[in-house]
């Protein structure tokens, strides 16, 4: 059921990104809602679910853009590693690490997309691409993170959350460390 | 270890997908997805457009008032030019008929299409339309805005949908020219001189009078400066490979030259906004403001009567 929900949200965000969001560009770029969704899901719901949701989100993104099918699947893959890395740090909230993951993932996403497009014979101006598209997307995606993160956060807490001690609620990170 | 296996699997699967996609094996999948998504995307764009207009109206009111005044003055000027050009066109047609000259665009046949999506990645400039191979369009065909200004070419056609590469895309290059006799420096106004608006969504039959802008060819070849209008991620559109001693002013009209045979001659591309001359460079560059508003296009026209050279090759 949760994957059906993830599919529905991912599809809606992919369509929204290609149709609605280009009217509201910030710094000349459209926020990558699917990337923010994949990163938020990986941070809130954990690695097991992220292993399914990240490729699914990438596929949905590719289906609504002109990129070769598989580009976004590949470009979103680092999110899993980034999310796992950030989880190793002790934090009482998922939000700040999610913003961090979104920002770094935007950079890796842009670079991998440019590599794939170049490999498939498309002319990609690397310097202009980095300056005009990739770097602004780091800021813009980070700014739009709350819009996608908060609904996912409200939809359900991470399965690994524990109650330790007399009524003390801790996050999963705290639970692992203790 | 599990993450490594997952990464390897994702790399293998996505690599296979990219290869299959490049070989056009996955086109039916993308066509089906667009068929499902198109109605939703169309509705969302219908909502976004007026909302965006409201925001723009609030934030740019002062500029809009000033621009409105400029446009009114420009319309008056253009109406006068149209009247003159209609007379000139009539005379050209009579002379061509008398001399037996083959007309390059005797009658333009256009097909209207709705824009359903835009490429969200900032690395490309593309839009998706609700027309495809089944409607008689093919990759390489020229696409115009509703007012007949050059917008781009069909870059990828599916059965019922297609992606258009805009002239501002880094891969786009159009052989262009500036007619010196027609170059009239003026305030930079991106709006196109448009005789009549095009029909909304239905296929446009071959009109007897072309809706394309009346861009009269130069009186002689020496009076035109030629270059290449190339897409640029940073500047939008750049007219490159101009002679170093070029003398053109801001506001000069940039038209397609027809060289190479991939675009018809005389299509309006935009206006020169800035000239970049470097002492050591053998060529001059000029920034060009596209005549068509390429973001927020709702309807485009596909020029189906013109067969680009890349399509007519064996």
pLDDT digits (tens, 9 = 90+) for B199-233: 434 444 333 334 444 444 444 445 788 899 999 88
- Joined tokens for residue B210: 């072309």
pLDDT of A35-59, one tens digit each? 999 999 999 988 889 999 999 999 9
The band of A156, judged by pLDDT with boundaries at 50, 70 and 90, is low
Measure in Å the smallest separation between the Cα of A161 and chain B Cα atoms.
22
**A143 CA to chain B: closest CA distance, Å?**
17
Cβ contact (<8 Å) for B120 and A20? no
A chain contacts of residue B44, beta-carbon cutoff 8 Å: 15-16, 19-20
- Best A9, A17, A18 member to test B by mutation, with max B CBs in 10 Å, is A18
d(CA B210, CA B266): 13
What is the spatial distance between Cα B147 and Cα B143, in angstroms, rounded to a whole number? 11
- Which of B45, B44, B40 lies closest to B298, judged by CA? B45
Tell me which of A134-138, B79-83, B174-178 is least confident: B79-83
Contact B45 A81 (CB under 8 A): no
Q: Is the pLDDT of residue B182 over 70?
A: no
Mean pLDDT of B82-90: 79
Distance, in angstroms, between A168 CA and closest chain B CA?
Answer: 32
How many other CB atoms are found less than 10 A from the CB of residue B287? Answer: 19
A15 neighbors A64 (Cβ within 8 angstroms): yes
pLDDT at B217: 45
pLDDT at residue B272 tops 60:
yes
Residue B127 has pLDDT above 90, yes or no: yes
Cβ distance A18 to B232 less than 8 Å, yes or no, reads no
A17 chain-B contacts, CB cut-off 8 A: 120
pLDDT tens figures, A92-133: 777 889 999 999 999 999 999 999 999 998 888 899 999 999
Q: Above 90 in pLDDT, residue B277?
A: no
Question: Contact, A134 vs A110, CB < 8 A?
Answer: yes
Length of chain B, please? 314
pLDDT at B193 over 80: no
- Provide the pairing of β-strand B236-243 with B268-276: unpaired
**ipTM higher than threshold 0.85:** no
User: Which of A88-92, B168-172, B222-226 is the most confident on average?
Assistant: B168-172
Which of B8, B14, B48 is the mutation pick for testing A, counting most A CBs within 10 A? B14
The span from the CA of B115 to the CA of B162, in Å, is 10
Mean pLDDT, rounded, for B2-10 = 91
pLDDT above 70 as % of chain A:
84
Phi and psi, residue B231, nearest 5° = -70, 150
A-B CB pairs within 8 A amount to 156
Which of B124-128, B192-196, B244-248, B295-299 shows the lowest per-residue confidence on average (mean pLDDT)? B192-196
Q: Is B240 helix (H, G, I), strand (E, B) or coil?
A: strand
| Contact (CB, 8 A) for A146 and A72 | no
Partners of B25 on chain A (C-beta within 8 Å) are none
Confidence class of residue A77 from pLDDT cuts 50, 70 and 90?
very high
Alpha helices (runs of H) in chain B, residue ranges in sequence order: 2-22, 27-59, 61-99, 309-312
Chain A hits for B33, Cβ within 8 Å: 63-64
- Put simply, the answer to whether B170 touches A125 (Cβ < 8 Å) is yes
Share of chain B above pLDDT 90, in %: 25
User: Residue B59 has what pLDDT?
Assistant: 74
Q: Does the beta-carbon distance from A17 to B120 stay under 8 Å? A: yes
Taking residues B155-179, report their average pLDDT. 91
How far apart, in whole angstroms, are the C-alpha atoms of residue B94 and residue B299?
A: 34
C-alpha distance from A13 to closest chain B C-alpha (Å): 11
Q: Which of left, alpha, beta for B148 (phi over 0: left; psi -120 to 50: alpha)?
A: left
CB contact under 8 A, A18 and B128: yes
Distance of CA B134 to the CA centre of its chain: 22
pLDDT digit string, tens, across residues B42-53: 888 888 877 777
Q: Which H or E run contains A124?
A: none
Mean pLDDT, range B290-297, rounded to an integer: 84
Query: Which tokens belong to B147?
Result: 């007012």
The mean predicted confidence, pLDDT, of chain B is: 79
CB-CB under 8 Å, B170 with A128: yes
Residue whose pair of structure tokens reads 């002013």 in the numeric block: B249
- How far A133 CA lies from chain B's nearest CA (Å)? 5
**How distant, in Å, are the alpha carbons of A1, A44, A77, B258 from that of A81?**
25, 14, 8, 51
Vertex A27: Cα angle to A73 and B114 (nearest 5) = 65
Determine, for residues A129 and B11 on separate chains, whether the beta-carbon distance falls below 8 Å. no
Between A21, A66, A132, which is nearest B126 by CB?
Answer: A66
Place of tokens 């990219």: B18
- Is the pLDDT at B249 greater than 50? The verdict is yes
- Res. B181 pLDDT band, cuts 50 70 90: low
Q: What is the least distance, in Å, from the CA of A73 to any CA of chain B? A: 6
Q: Give the mean pLDDT of chain A.
A: 85
What H or E segment, with its residue span, contains residue B226?
A: strand B224-232
pLDDT exceeds 80 at position A29 = yes
Neighboring chain A residues of B20 at a CB cutoff of 8 Å: 69
Distance CA(A32)–CA(B29), nearest Å, equals: 22
Question: Would you call A19 and B21 a contact, using CB atoms and an 8 Å cutoff?
Answer: no
CA distance, residue B204 to nearest chain A CA (Å): 25
């Amino acid at each position: 059921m949760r994957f059906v929900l993830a599919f529905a949200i991912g599809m809606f965000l992919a369509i929204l990104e290609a149709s609605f969001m280009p009217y509201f560009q910030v710094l000349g770029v459209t926020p990558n809602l699917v990337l923010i969704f994949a990163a938020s899901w990986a941070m809130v719901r954990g690695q097991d679910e992220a292993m399914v949701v990240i490729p699914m989100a990438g596929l949905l993104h590719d289906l609504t853009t002109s990129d070769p099918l598989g580009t976004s699947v590949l470009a979103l893959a680092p999110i899993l590693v980034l999310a796992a890395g950030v989880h190793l740090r002790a934090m009482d909230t998922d939000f700040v690490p999610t913003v961090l993951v979104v920002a770094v993932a935007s950079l890796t996403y842009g670079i991998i997309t440019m590599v794939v497009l170049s490999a498939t014979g498309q002319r990609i101006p690397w310097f202009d691409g980095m300056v005009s598209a990739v770097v602004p997307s780091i800021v813009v995606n980070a700014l739009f993170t709350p819009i996608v993160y908060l609904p996912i956060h409200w939809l359900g807490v991470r399965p690994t959350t524990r109650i330790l001690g007399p009524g003390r609620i801790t996050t999963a990170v705290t639970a692992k460390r203790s | 270890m599990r993450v490594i296996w997952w990464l390897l699997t994702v790399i293998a699967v996505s690599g296979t997908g990219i290869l299959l996609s490049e070989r056009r094996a996955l086109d039916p999948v993308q066509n089906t997805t667009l068929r499902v998504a198109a109605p939703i995307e169309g509705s969302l764009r219908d909502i976004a457009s007026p909302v965006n207009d409201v925001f723009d109206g609030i934030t740019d009111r002062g500029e809009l008032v000033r621009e409105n005044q400029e446009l009114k003055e420009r319309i008056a000027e253009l109406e006068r030019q149209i009247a003159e050009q209609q007379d000139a066109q009539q005379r050209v047609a009579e002379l061509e008929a008398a001399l037996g000259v083959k007309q390059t665009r005797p009658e333009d046949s256009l097909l209207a299409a709705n824009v359903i999506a835009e490429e969200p990645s900032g690395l490309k400039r593309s839009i998706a339309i609700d027309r495809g191979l089944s409607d008689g369009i093919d990759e390489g065909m020229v696409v115009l805005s509703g007012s007949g200004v050059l917008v781009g070419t069909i870059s990828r056609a599916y059965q019922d949908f297609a992606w258009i590469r805009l002239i501002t895309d880094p891969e786009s290059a159009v052989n262009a020219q500036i007619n010196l006799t027609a170059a009239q420096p003026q305030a930079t106004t991106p709006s196109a001189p448009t005789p009549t608006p095009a029909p909304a969504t239905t296929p446009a039959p071959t009109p007897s009078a072309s809706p394309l802008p009346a861009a009269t060819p130069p009186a002689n070849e020496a009076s035109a400066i030629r270059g290449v209008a190339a897409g640029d991620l940073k500047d939008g559109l750049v007219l490159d490979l101009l002679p170093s001693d070029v003398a053109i002013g801001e506001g000069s009209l940039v038209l397609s030259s027809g060289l190479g045979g991939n675009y018809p001659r005389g299509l309006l591309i935009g206006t020169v906004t800035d000239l970049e001359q470097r002492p050591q460079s053998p060529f001059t560059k000029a920034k060009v403001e596209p005549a068509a508003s390429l973001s927020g296009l709702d309807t485009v026209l596909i020029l189906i009567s013109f067969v680009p050279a890349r399509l007519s090759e064996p």
